[in-house]
Amino acid sequence: MPDTAMYFLEEHHILMLLIQLLVLMGCARGAGELLRRFNQPSLPGEILVGLILGPTLLGRFFPEIQQALFPDDRIQWAMLDTVAWLGVLFLLLDTGLAVDFSIAWRRRGSALMIALSDIFIPILVVFAVFIWMPDRYFTNPEQRGLVALFIGTVLTISELPATARVLNDLRLLKSDMGYLILSALTANDLIGWVLFTIMLGLFTSAVVAIGPIALVFSGTIAFAALALTFGRRFSIALFEHLKKKEVPEPATSLTITILLGLLFGSLTQRMGISGSSSRALWWARQRRYPNRPAESFPSWSIRSLCRSSLRPLDSRSTLSAISIRWLSLSFARRASAGGMSARGWALPGVPYRA
């Protein structure tokens, strides 16, 4: 039967949301600043805050406190998830304003080779391990190969927002290495999600529908090309028109920038690019205003908002129960594949340092 229960927003939900934001933002910001003192990116500290406050640690040793702070309430979690997703979307918008895609495009060959290595090397490693595992670890031993491919594909999916944050904290976002990493991760996500869709179809049915997969793949490429050509020209013309009209600044430019980011994000979400829909905010980048300082237009406001308030909310993603074993496996997979890719491919102009 369908769920006919009614859910209403009450004053208690708002109070709990404010308390949750206070705890998350305060602890995450404090942990991030602590790592900054040791010349480290703030992201690991914010992730650890989510692990500590979630079921992984606090819920295991002090379940009453954890339930009081993060109650098992559908509305409460939906409210916190909404704010956290806004933080992720604005982070990608901030990254898009800082990245010059033309520089990244010049390294597309190296980026594609790294992306392919980062996908197929982990799949081969996981497949080799699963082949020798005893049958008792599988519900259906005959699907051993399919399970191995599925796990390997899941482990190939990258986390572009987190990578962009680390590169930004280390002041590498605008470097050649930063552009190369972001380009490789974008290709990695596109190929990885297509493979994931195929694997999911193999698990749920005997036949995989090629049409939807091809539609997502071609739609993503077409959308990126459209955003980087027509979208770029349109945004430049729009802001130049606003400049001539002498509209109130920076409020008007900031509003237009946010609306464009939300529009591009909505389009990709409607296209069904699950998990990577916010990447559109990176593709929706705009060129800087001619003859105007970089910090005089909306990027400064968005960057300040992200770094001061919205970025720490990314730790919400680690509030759920996380297996330390699988977390370690994923970390080892990423480190090994990244190291093999960096050593195996000759990257012109990007020297490798051990």
Could you read off the pLDDT of 79-100 as tens digits, one per residue? Answer: 888 887 777 777 777 666 666 6
Q: What is the mean pLDDT of residues 250-260?
A: 79
CB within 8 A of 22, min separation 6: which ones? none
Range with lowest mean pLDDT among 141-150, 161-170, 267-276, 331-340: 331-340
For residue 77, pLDDT beyond 70: yes
Highest mean pLDDT among 9-18, 143-152, 159-168: 9-18
Q: Is the peptide bond before 250 cis (omega within 30 degrees of 0)?
A: yes
Range with lowest mean pLDDT among 6-20, 155-169, 220-234, 283-297: 283-297
pLDDT at 191: 76
pLDDT level of residue 275 (50, 70, 90 thresholds): very low
pLDDT level of residue 15 (50, 70, 90 thresholds): very high
pLDDT at 205: 57
Q: Which of 338, 352, 348 is nearest to 158 (CA)?
A: 338
The 10s digit of each residue's pLDDT in 338-353 is 555 445 444 444 443 4
pLDDT at 345: 45
3-state SS assignment for residue 248: coil
Which one has a higher pLDDT value, 97 or 337?
97
For residue 246, pLDDT beyond 50: yes
Task: Give the span between the Cα atoms of 109 and 94, in whole angstroms.
Answer: 26
pTM of the model: 0.62
Mean pLDDT of the chain: 70
CB within 8 A of 285, min separation 6: which ones? 96, 97, 99, 101, 232
Task: Give the span between the Cα atoms of 93 and 90, in whole angstroms.
Answer: 5
CB within 8 A of 146, min separation 6: which ones? 199, 202, 203
Task: Give the span between the Cα atoms of 164 and 173, in whole angstroms.
Answer: 7
Token output for 188:
């990695």
For residue 266, pLDDT beyond 50: yes
The fraction of the chain above a pLDDT of 90, given in percent, is 1
Q: What is the mean pLDDT of residues 66-72?
A: 87
Q: What is the mean pLDDT of residues 266-293?
A: 50
